[in-house]
Amino acid sequence: MTISQTNYQAVIENIKKSALETGRNPKEINLVVVSKTFKRQALEPILKLGHRTFGENKVQEAEQKWLELKKDYPEVKLHLIGTLQTNKAALAISLFDVIETLDRPKLAVKLADELKKTNKEIALMIQVNTGEEQQKAGVLPQEADDFIQYCIQELKLPVKGLMCIPPFEDEPSLHFALLNKIAQRNGLKALSMGMSGDYQTAVKLGATEVRIGSAILGGR
């Protein structure tokens, strides 16, 4: 086993353990291996273990890397976890299976337009700026309900859940609990929360998806 394969197995075990500790079914939790900045060579060991779900934060990087890799691994599912510019919406829809960073009305309208032009089925998540950080993307918690309902009711977008990235210095559990609460009151099931440093906490607070890069692939 390579180091990353050993890391991967440990992460899977930790997710399982945290799920069982809180009476959850480990199968409810989806691991997205965050492959941003890593090249094919670094990803092969994880693909060889059978893992097929990856996260990228840049549309162009994903295109360059995964168009090629998907020839050998056609079942790969890609999640966009970085900010999406409206002028790249069509390309993002063609490349990704889940766009986790729907964060503003202009992008919502654009995605709705582009989705009408294609048969590609994708899922969307709305990013919530739970820490209300100026430099971070996402709708503010107090605006989340309106934005979620606008996307679902008016634009008929396939919104499945919510995503957040807690402030670096904060205790993440408060943010995970807040995201869970917003999802519940809006009838959303999917919760993308938890990264290398805090995924076990996220699983205990209801994450259905954790996004993990460095704990598996090493430093960037």
Q: Which residues bind ligand PLP (CB under 6 A)?
A: 34, 36, 57, 81-82, 165, 195-196, 211-215
Residue 46 beta carbon to ligand PLP: minimum distance, rounded to whole angstroms: 13
Q: Which is nearer to ligand PLP, 72 or 197 (CB)?
A: 197
Residue 20 beta carbon to ligand PLP: minimum distance, rounded to whole angstroms: 22
Q: Which is nearer to ligand PLP, 89 or 202 (CB)?
A: 202
Helix axes 40-48, 59-72, angle to 10 degrees: 50
Residues 6+ apart with CB under 8 A from 109: 155
Residue 82 beta carbon to ligand PLP: minimum distance, rounded to whole angstroms: 6
Q: Which is nearer to ligand PLP, 127 or 180 (CB)?
A: 127
Question: Whose CA is closest to 115, among 129, 135, 143, 96?
Answer: 96
Residue of this chain nearest to ligand PLP (CB atom): 213
Residue 98 beta carbon to ligand PLP: minimum distance, rounded to whole angstroms: 12
Place of tokens 């060889």: 48
Place of tokens 């699983």: 203
Q: Which is nearer to ligand PLP, 57 or 201 (CB)?
A: 57
Question: 100 burial class (0-12, 13-18, 19+ CB within 10 angstroms)?
Answer: buried
8 A C-beta contact, residue 62 and residue 40: no
Residue 192 beta carbon to ligand PLP: minimum distance, rounded to whole angstroms: 8
Residue 27 beta carbon to ligand PLP: minimum distance, rounded to whole angstroms: 21
Q: Which is nearer to ligand PLP, 47 or 119 (CB)?
A: 47
Long-range pairs, 36-41, Cβ under 8 A, ≥24: 36/61, 36/81, 36/82, 36/213, 36/220, 37/61, 37/220, 38/213, 38/217, 38/220, 39/65, 40/65, 40/68, 40/69
Q: Which is nearer to ligand PLP, 101 or 180 (CB)?
A: 101
